[in-house]
Amino acid sequence: MKTADRPPHRREEAWRERAEKVRDAFGLVLALVLLTYVLTSLLSNHGWSAVVLVLATSTTSVVALVSSHVRPRAVRASLWLSVLAVALAVIAAASDDRTYLNISSVIQICLLAVAMLAVLWRVVSSAEVGSRTILGAISVYTVLGILFTFAYGTIDRIQDGAFFEEVAHPSGSDFIFFSYTTLTTTGYGNLVPAAQPGRMVAGLEMMIGQIFLVTLVAGLVSLWRPGEALRRRRERREAPGETA
């Protein structure tokens, strides 16, 4: 029987079986975030390079949602939105119209935000703190940097390349460097927002990053007991033998 001819509940079960294989695969999510970071640092944030960046970010968002074990409908919706975002980026590259790229960027920001919240919910609702939980928290933190990178790039295009002081028409590497510098509050160098709303958004990223580090990540690390988790798994494996 073909997949299209299956009853809805059968398709739902098939989806759950496939999703189970990548459940809590937050190491993969983190790897995709790092790949997106490298691509954004090397490529331009407009033209055909932007298509590659949108494709990488869309993949990250979808994998994050699947890893968080969200409902199949949510994943399908994210897939359709990702296709739309990539299509708009292609139209923007072919027509040199920034409006389409701005819309595509807004879609990416929304997808990243939803994916980040899904991973965050998965992390805080976990029964025990393990290595995957820690990787999930780190993934959320790093996704924040990518999300705000898209936000800064969109603001810059709307302001016609006047986002930074003394830096006209910055590149994608400028925005991602600025985003993670802001997120980690390591201090600004030659890249400083020239005006609003850039300054407001940068302040928001700074606050979110610090609150996230102080509350969630620090709390999870303090609760993480790798030896205890290993002992529990060993006891579960040995329990049937002891019962017999």
Q: What pLDDT, in 10s, does the model give residues 43-91? A: 888 889 999 999 999 999 999 999 888 888 889 999 999 999 999 999 9
The whole-angstrom separation of Cα 202 and Cα 192 is: 10
**CB of 142 closer than 8 Å to CB of 115:** no
Q: Which residues in the chain land under pLDDT 50?
A: 1-3, 242-244
Residue with tokens 């949108």: 54
**CB of 67 closer than 8 Å to CB of 25:** yes
The whole-angstrom separation of Cα 79 and Cα 205 is: 27
Q: Nearest Cα to 122, choosing from 15, 216, 226?
A: 216
Which pLDDT score is estimated for 94? 93
Which pLDDT score is estimated for 244? 43
Q: Nearest Cα to 78, choosing from 61, 91, 60, 98?
A: 61
- pTM of the full structure: 0.80
Q: What pLDDT, in 10s, does the model give residues 152-169? A: 999 998 888 778 887 777
**CB of 59 closer than 8 Å to CB of 143:** no
The whole-angstrom separation of Cα 183 and Cα 180 is: 5
**CB of 51 closer than 8 Å to CB of 90:** yes
Which pLDDT score is estimated for 26? 86
The whole-angstrom separation of Cα 92 and Cα 48 is: 9
Helix (H, G, I), strand (E, B), or coil: what is residue 193?
strand
Which pLDDT score is estimated for 97? 87
Which pLDDT score is estimated for 190? 78
**CB of 30 closer than 8 Å to CB of 131:** no
Cβ partners under 8 Å of residue 164, min gap 6: 156, 170, 174, 178, 191, 192, 193, 194, 198
Q: Nearest Cα to 37, choosing from 172, 213, 183?
A: 172
Helices and strands of the chain, counted as H and E runs: 10, 0
